[in-house]
Amino acid sequence: MTDLDQRVRLAAFNFLSEQTRLHGDVLPRPILAHGFLFDGRRIPLLGPQGIFKPAILPEIPLTITTAPPVPDRPRPYDDALDSNGLLRYCYRGTDARHHENRGLRLAMMQHVPLIYFHGIVPGRYMASWPAYIVGDNPGALAFTVAVDDRGLAQAVATAIDDAEVDIRRRYVTRQVAQRLHQVAFRQRVLRAYREHCAICHLRHEELLEAAHILPDWHPRGQPVVSNGLALCKLHHAAFDADILGIRPDYRVELRLDILEEADGPMLRHGLQGFQDTMIWTPRSARDKPRPEFLEERYAIFKHH
């Protein structure tokens, strides 16, 4: 890896650190496609293909990208966690000798750090760095990717030369995968609800959260939009605490002791005022809360 290559990668890492500080974990595609200035040249971070090398770099790609899911359309590539808890990244096409696949193979051989963009919803991506190609499986047409600690994201070639490094990267990669599922669920739910709280219609995205109707530990508590509700922080907390329930007919119900309590304007307007109101639901029938999920959760609410 050349000195120029190292400096470009370090600049890219610093750029992403600043963008995630400003915008959070999920970044809009235009910011990534526009990129940053390096010695007077614009360096984009995304291109039309998943394996991307800006023109300034001689051989090794800078970023890899998994396309965001599109409803009712299969993903072009099946990138996911493998049985060892590492990320699988599919080849470009089926030719192992394709120049983009060769570029990733070179990154593996030289232990060069990359940036991995995970498509969350169309137009929005979560970035993981430094990401390393640590395996190549031509039979499966896929590479294996490990993510390391951002605090160690130096733009230098770093080999897995001992068990401690390998264990750390596997741990970080599992954390990235878990965070990816959380972020993806939130983004899909908020998009379906058009960035509204289902109860009070608050539209400030930074104050909205994705609530599970049936929780994670439930056998049917999957991170799908029909098992989710976009709620503001107050109503999410009240829903999780079974202070507030939602009936299968989409009506809000407050716990009796909360309805009878007198405790100022926040309780009166923030909770009691929504008794027996209809929640706001997505336009798509596929994304609406499933009545059987609400019925089971409502039974839990009534039990308290």
Q: Mark which of 157, 190, 223 sits at the end of a domain.
A: 190
30 and 166 within one domain: yes
> Is residue 165 very low, low, confident or very high in pLDDT (cuts 50, 70, 90)?
confident
Spatial separation of the C-alpha atoms in residues 144 and 156, rounded to whole Å? 20
151 and 133 within one domain: yes
Percent of the chain scored above 70 by pLDDT? 92
237 and 213 within one domain: yes
Spatial separation of the C-alpha atoms in residues 36 and 262, rounded to whole Å? 55
Alpha helices in the chain (DSSP H): 3-23, 29-34, 99-110, 163-192, 233-240, 256-260, 264-270, 291-303
232 bridge partner residues? 208
Q: Quick one: DSSP state of residue 40?
A: T
Comparing C-alpha atoms, which of 261, 278, 256, 298 is closest to residue 200? 278
107 and 65 within one domain: yes
176 and 58 within one domain: yes
Which residue reads 């060069």 in tokens? Answer: 112
203 and 160 within one domain: no
Q: Mark which of 131, 158, 190 sits at the end of a domain.
A: 190
19 and 39 within one domain: yes
> Is residue 157 very low, low, confident or very high in pLDDT (cuts 50, 70, 90)?
low
43 and 174 within one domain: yes
209 and 171 within one domain: no
What is the reported pLDDT for 95?
A: 87
165 and 262 within one domain: no
Q: Mark which of 139, 158, 190 sits at the end of a domain.
A: 190
Residues 70-109 pLDDT 10s: 766 655 555 566 767 789 999 998 888 899 999 999 999 9
Q: Which domain holds residue 283?
A: 195-303
Torsion sign (Cα): 149, 183, 104, 169: positive
171 and 92 within one domain: yes
Question: How many folded domains does the chain comprise?
Answer: 2
Mean pLDDT rounded to a whole number for the chain: 91
Spatial separation of the C-alpha atoms in residues 46 and 42, rounded to whole Å? 12
248 and 179 within one domain: no
Find the mean pLDDT for residues 120-149. 94
Q: pTM of the full predicted structure? A: 0.82
